[in-house]
Structure 1
Amino acid sequence: MSDEDRDPSSSGVRPTSERVSWGEHVAQLATRFVADSRVHWVAVLVVIAWNVTGPRVADWTAAYEWIEQVVASLSFLMLFLLQRSQNKDTLSLQLKLDELIASNPRASNRVLVAEDISEEELVRMRRHFRLLDRLAREAGEGPLAEENAYRRHEEEQRLQAEQKREP
Structure 2
Amino acid sequence: MVKPELIFTHVANTVSHAAGKAVTFGLCVLAVLAWAVTGPYFDYSDTWQLIINTSTTIITFLMVFLIQNTQNRDNAAIQTKLDELIRASEARNRLVGIEHLTENEVDQLRKDIERKVRARAKGGHGRLPEEGAQSRHRGETR
**Alignment TM-score > 0.5, same fold:** yes
Higher RCO structure (Cα 8 Å, ≥6 apart): 2
Q: How does 1:30-41 map to 2 (within 5 A)?
A: 30-41=15-26
Report the Cα offset of residue 41 of structure 1. 0.7
Name which of 123, 137, 148 aligns with 2:107. 123
Name which of 13, 24, 31 aligns with 1:46. 31
Tell me how many residue pairs correspond in the alignment.
125
**Superposed CA offset, 1:33-63 (max 9, x none):** 2222211111111111211222222582222
Per the alignment, residue 12 of structure 2 pairs with 27
Is the alpha carbon distance of 1:127 and 1:29 closer, same or farther for their aligned partners in structure 2, counting shifts above 3 Å? closer
SS at match of 1:55: coil
Query: What residue ranges of structure 1 are gaps of 5+ in the alignment?
Result: 1-19, 141-147, 155-167
Structure (1 or 2) with the larger CA radius of gyration: 1
Name which of 79, 83, 86 aligns with 2:64. 79
Q: Is contact 2:12-2:67 (8 Å) kept?
A: no
Runs of at least 4 residues of structure 1 off by over 4 A?
none
Q: Which amino acid aligns with 2:36?
A: N
Q: CA–CA distance in 1 between the matches of 2:116 and 2:30?
A: 55
Q: How does 1:88-103 map to 2 (within 5 A)?
A: 88-103=73-88
Query: What residue ranges of structure 2 are gaps of 5+ in the alignment?
Result: 130-142
Q: Which amino acid aligns with 1:110?
A: R
Identity %: 30
Question: What TM-score does the superposition give when structure 2 sets the normalisation length?
Answer: 0.74
Q: Which amino acid aligns with 2:62?
A: L
Is the alpha carbon distance of 1:135 and 1:59 closer, same or farther for their aligned partners in structure 2, counting shifts above 3 Å? closer
Q: Which amino acid aligns with 2:47?
A: A
The answer to which structure has the higher helix fraction is: 1
Is the alpha carbon distance of 1:124 and 1:40 closer, same or farther for their aligned partners in structure 2, counting shifts above 3 Å? closer
Is the alpha carbon distance of 1:120 and 1:70 closer, same or farther for their aligned partners in structure 2, counting shifts above 3 Å? closer
Question: What TM-score does the superposition give when structure 1 sets the normalisation length?
Answer: 0.64
Per the alignment, residue 144 of structure 1 pairs with none
Per the alignment, residue 143 of structure 1 pairs with none
Name which of 113, 128, 135 aligns with 2:97. 113
SS at match of 1:56: coil
CA RMSD between the two structures: 2.3
Q: Which amino acid aligns with 2:115?
A: L
Is the alpha carbon distance of 1:59 and 1:123 closer, same or farther for their aligned partners in structure 2, counting shifts above 3 Å? closer
